[in-house]
């Protein structure tokens, strides 16, 4: 088998802003593994929050010598791209879908969260009104305006389910002040309110709405320790180590009594496709990463009548 790796840049439609910063393009790493006429592909997004860069992820991928899902030595995003490429390659070799090979459900259209970046309350409300989607994920900043943001979106989208994500931007005082007020606004899920290094402060604290770990939850090995402070974990392939790692992470979450949010980075549909196989195993779904792009790969995911139609199997799997 021969492995090739490259970086690609894909423009975002507008600007994607979270508590840690803003960006106007998605930088992804693509792996291709060839075995004769068959070529499997996988994509990952280097996770800057964990110290990953495009260069470090490419170097890690190029260092991998054992191209076998069970024996990969690299971790994180690098492992995800290789793992997904190996699944795709096996599907092409065997003529069977990855869903069949992995014993997972064939992806069908599903409701996903649509993300609204941090902005003024008025602009976030306007975006919610224009989107008119059943599930909205609001990025928050911890800057004293978050409650106004959520109130404005709730007024603009009274029937939508709201999921808010602070991306580690709050402190305990902000949490104590806002959590009950978000519950009163019928927010369904609050993601990573405190920095991962300080989330022990959630232990024993009132949780008027379910709290989901994201930056605190990496792969399967980190999940059991979170059960005393969270109600759910956000499983992303780039953190978990690909489709194989995500399956293991979901299993670990269920074993720990935690619910599952299925998430993604801003990416193309090549990275969304394997995550779509896990939709039936999640309680909340946020797989709009490719929809946020100005353009996507051929055969990519698309919104249709309020639901996301998974990418074509010709693209991956």
Checking 159-162 for CB contacts under 8 A at 24+ apart, the result is 159/134, 160/128, 160/133, 160/134, 160/135, 160/136, 161/134, 161/135, 161/136, 161/188, 162/136, 162/137, 162/138, 162/186, 162/187, 162/188
Which residue reads 């690909």 in tokens?
242
Active site residue 23: no
Pairing state of beta strands 2-18 and 21-35? antiparallel
Active-site position among 23, 137, 139, 239: 139
Residue 239: active-site member = no
Q: How far apart are CA 134 and CA 114, in angstroms?
A: 9
Residue 180: count of CB within 10 angstroms of its CB: 12
Residues 23, 92, 137, 236: which is the catalytic one? 236
Distance CA 156, CA 163 (A): 15
Nearest-CA neighbor of 300 among 291, 277, 292, 237? 291
Residues 6+ apart with CB under 8 A from 313: 97
**Distance from the Cα of residue 142 to its chain's centroid:** 21
Q: Active-site positions?
A: 139, 236
């Amino acid at each position: 088998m021969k492995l090739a790796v490259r970086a690609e840049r894909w423009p975002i439609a507008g600007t994607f802003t979270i508590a840690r910063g803003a960006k106007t393009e998605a930088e992804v790493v693509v792996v291709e593994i060839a075995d004769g006429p068959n070529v499997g592909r996988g994509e990952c997004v280097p996770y800057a929050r964990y110290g990953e860069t495009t260069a470090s992820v490419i170097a890690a991928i190029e260092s991998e010598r054992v191209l076998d899902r069970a024996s990969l030595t690299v971790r994180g995003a690098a492992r995800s791209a290789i793992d997904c490429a190996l699944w795709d390659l096996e599907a092409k070799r065997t003529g069977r879908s990855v869903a069949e090979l992995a014993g997972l459900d064939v992806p069908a259209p599903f409701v996903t969260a649509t993300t609204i970046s941090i902005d003024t309350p008025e602009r976030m409300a306007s975006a919610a009104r224009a989107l008119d989607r059943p599930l909205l994920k609001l990025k928050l900043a911890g800057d004293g305006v978050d409650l106004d943001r959520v109130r404005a979106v709730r007024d603009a989208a009274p029937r939508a389910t709201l999921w808010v994500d602070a991306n580690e931007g709050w402190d305990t005082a902000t949490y104590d002040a806002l959590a009950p007020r978000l519950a009163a606004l019928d927010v369904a899920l609050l993601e990573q309110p405190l920095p991962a290094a300080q989330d022990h402060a959630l232990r024993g604290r009132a949780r008027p709405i379910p709290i989901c770990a994201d930056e605190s939850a990496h792969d399967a090995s980190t999940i059991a320790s979170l059960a005393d402070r969270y109600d759910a974990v956000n499983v992303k392939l780039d953190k978990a180590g690909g489709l194989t790692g995500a399956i293991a992470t979901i299993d670990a979450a269920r074993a720990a009594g935690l619910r599952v949010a299925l998430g993604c980075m801003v990416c193309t549909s090549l990275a969304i496709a394997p995550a779509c196989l896990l939709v039936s195993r999640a309680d909340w779904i946020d797989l709009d990463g490719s929809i946020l792009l100005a353009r996507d790969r051929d055969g990519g995911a698309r919104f249709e009548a309020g639901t996301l139609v998974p990418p074509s199997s010709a693209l991956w799997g």
